[in-house]
Homo-oligomer: A and B are copies of this chain.
Amino acid sequence: MKHYISIQDIDNINTWIQEAKALKRNPLNYKELGKNKTLGLLFFNSSLRTRLSTQKAALNLGMDPIVMNVSGDAWGIEFGDGTIMNGNTAEHIKEAAAVISQYCDIIAVRAFPSLTDKEKDESEQVLKAFVKYASVPIVNMESATGHPLQALTDAITISENTKKERPKVVLSWAPHIKALPHAVANSFVEAMQKMDVEFVITHPEGYDLNPEIIGESTVNYNQNEALKDADFVYVKNWSSYGDYGKVLNTDPNWMITKEKIGNAKFMHCLPVRRNLIVEDAVLDSDSSLVIEQANNRTYAAQLVLKKILEDLK
């Protein structure tokens, strides 16, 4: 595997899940694989789980992680083609990506969307520029439209916790005060489409995700109907896609409650706002898988890095 940019880079999600579980059982089995290899972690945005779990994954493989907060630590990066750089950006991505490739064997990048310029966000300007101008493999640590390390994690977690051959998985929108990206929801949808699950998406009208991603997946605007007999309820807020980046609805009735979720397992990528997205009673119960999801971030990242390292040899 060259890059890990989207869920579509996973050839066989069931095989990957099995491989990730094997890594989880013996995380240090490949400690020699990454020896003398450097992972550059570039953050254009805040990060806790991704920051720590990806470093941990690299360490498990014997790699040396180097972390950089791009905005604070380095220079403003220009992405435009042909720009006369007489403004605030001091370095072009063409040089930045090529240069960082001189020091890092793999580059992992986090770059959130603007949520104001749909076309620019969908072009995945930052991530694609790294793919284009770097000379080493690129790992997506959450980009404008996808968060495939998270979705791989979620697939592993569902696989570990299901008691059925074909569980019912519901992706439910929940209210939030801020405009949030579609990345987590998009990649989760794509992951579920690759798994043998009964999958339903539920959200208020006006919150339909990108139809190209939704494809044939079932969407039900009635949350109660959608949640019926669910085995896993994956909860996430996102801003409107149609009325791009807008918060159209903050209806607290969409908050996930103990009553709504019933016997289903609760999942969320975190960070989660308590009593806005989901009530305490759910998060503090045995139904919640969020901490196990966070734990699996390490093994999802480690599997991706392992596959890239094996391909580098």
User: A residues within 8 Å of B by Cβ?
Assistant: 28, 31, 36, 38, 40, 43, 46-49, 51-53, 55-56, 59-60, 64, 66, 68-69, 72-75, 78, 82-86, 90-92, 94-96, 98-100, 102-104, 177, 270-276, 280, 283-284, 290-291, 294-295, 297-298
Contacts of A59 in B (CB 8 A): 36, 38, 64
Contacts of A55 in B (CB 8 A): 66, 103
The answer to whether A73 touches B47 (Cβ under 8 A) is yes
Contacts of A100 in B (CB 8 A): 48, 52
Contacts of A38 in B (CB 8 A): 56, 59
Residue pairs across A and B with Cβ atoms less than 8 A apart, 24 shown, are A28-B36, A31-B36, A43-B73, A47-B73, A47-B74, A48-B73, A48-B75, A49-B99, A51-B73, A53-B103, A55-B66, A56-B66, A75-B271, A84-B275, A91-B271, A91-B272, A92-B272, A92-B274, A95-B283, A95-B294, A98-B291, A99-B294, A102-B295, A102-B298
The answer to whether A290 touches B95 (Cβ under 8 A) is yes
The answer to whether A103 touches B298 (Cβ under 8 A) is yes
Protomer copies: 3
Q: How far, in Å, is A65 (CB) from chain B's closest CB? A: 8
The answer to whether A274 touches B68 (Cβ under 8 A) is no
Q: How far, in Å, is A148 (CB) from chain B's closest CB? A: 19
The answer to whether B40 touches A99 (Cβ under 8 A) is no
The 8 A-B residue pairs with the shortest CB-CB distance in the complex, in nearest-first order = A91-B271, A85-B273, A48-B74, A102-B295, A99-B294, A52-B103, A84-B275, A56-B103
The answer to whether A90 touches B52 (Cβ under 8 A) is no
* Distance of A200 Cα from B100 Cα, bound (Å): 31
The answer to whether B90 touches A75 (Cβ under 8 A) is no
